[in-house]
Amino acid sequence: MKAIRVSEFGGPEVLKFESGVPVPTVNDNQVLIKVAAAGVNPVDTYIRSGTFSALPTLPYTPGKDTSGTVEQIGAKVTEFKKGDRVYTIRTASGGYAEYTTADTDFVGHLSDKLTFEQGAGLGTPYYTAFRAFFKAQIKAGETVLVHGASGAVGLACTQIGVSMGVQIIGTAGTEAGMELVRKNGATAVFNHREDGYREKIMAETGGAGPDVILEIAAHINLSYDLEMIKKYGRIVIVGSRGSLEIIPFWIMGKQCTLTGVALWLSPKEAWPEMHAAVQKGMAEGWLQPYIRQQYPLSDAKQAQTDVMSSRGAQGKIILKT
């Protein structure tokens, strides 16, 4: 099969498009999937560069999120059959490939309401977004600031919040990104690259601040979040790419809760809750991954470069096999 292979950690140039790669074999609890599309996530680049906390053995094929059809099932698999439309949240053999294997714990049925392209945008963004909602115990009627709402995870957070009757205040860095967040149901959208946008967020909440902040860029915003959050509010760090100084007084002075999510560290008991929520969202029709850009598998280098460097996110970047 054709696949992307990585033999050393490094820049995007270590992503090699190869033919004649053996099709992976399934174990008893796995399915083999003929991949239609693969999601490109920032975490794929942290792993490829060798800076992530958990690294695969070299050589490896990158990619956790895929969509496609079941080609073969392991001896103990009962919940999937050949031909089923599925998506993955974690592959075993790597998703940037024509075929991949995954443990059934990390595979879901893909609703007919979603295309395969959308299915590739489901796994990491939506499971992470749901995990953040569950962690913060967000309730209908609350005001939630999605600080970075135009990207894959931010749009998932926006759709989930709107579906629950939460007031979403979103931010984006471009007019096109802001428009997309508005279209997805946010009550108010501000530009995080404009001076004074935080004052506008405070005014939008009548000066009290949001009940919850889901923070996509904590290395830039956490100190401001602590100033903006409502008294007794909750801040969930979803994304962070560096360090910054904070004033701990704000945590005490607001009696707010500061926490974080790491999808790959989700406890075993969190998975059924996330699976059920994703299936419900697809069935109800509001869960709709938005695909910003698709590349052929052979352009994985460009796709990974763009997922880290583009300013002006609008949903998800995927690879088509």
Ligand X SMILES: NC(=O)c1ccc[n+]([C@@H]2O[C@H](COP(=O)([O-])OP(=O)(O)OC[C@H]3O[C@@H](n4cnc5c(N)ncnc54)[C@H](OP(=O)(O)O)[C@@H]3O)[C@@H](O)[C@H]2O)c1
Q: What residues make contact with ligand X under the rule CB under 6 A?
A: 41-43, 124-125, 128, 147-148, 150-154, 171-174, 177, 192, 216-217, 220-221, 238-239, 241, 261-263, 307, 311-313
The minimum distance between CB 128 and ligand X, in angstroms, equals 4
d(CA 197, CA 148): 13
d(CA 211, CA 245): 23
Reduced to 3 states (helix: H, G, I; strand: E, B; else coil), residue 297 is helix
Contact 209, 202 (CB under 8 A): yes
Number of helical H runs and strand E runs in the chain:
10, 15
The minimum distance between CB 74 and ligand X, in angstroms, equals 27
Tell me whether residue 2 or residue 200 sits nearer to ligand X (CB atom): 200
Tell me whether residue 298 or residue 310 sits nearer to ligand X (CB atom): 310
Tell me whether residue 26 or residue 291 sits nearer to ligand X (CB atom): 291
Tell me whether residue 30 or residue 41 sits nearer to ligand X (CB atom): 41
Q: 267-279 burial string, b = 16+ CB within 10 Å, else e?
A: eeebeeebbebbe
The minimum distance between CB 174 and ligand X, in angstroms, equals 5
For the chain, give the longest Cα–Cα distance.
61
Tell me whether residue 24 or residue 289 sits nearer to ligand X (CB atom): 289
Pairing of strands 188-191, 212-215: unpaired
Look-up of token digits 């992307």 = 4
Burial class of 34 by CB neighbour count within 10 A (0 to 12, 13 to 18, 19+) = middle
The minimum distance between CB 152 and ligand X, in angstroms, equals 4
The minimum distance between CB 192 and ligand X, in angstroms, equals 4
Enter the DSSP assignment of 99: E
> What H or E segment, with its residue span, contains residue 185?
none
Tell me whether residue 77 or residue 216 sits nearer to ligand X (CB atom): 216
The minimum distance between CB 262 and ligand X, in angstroms, equals 5
* CB-based closest residue to ligand X: 151
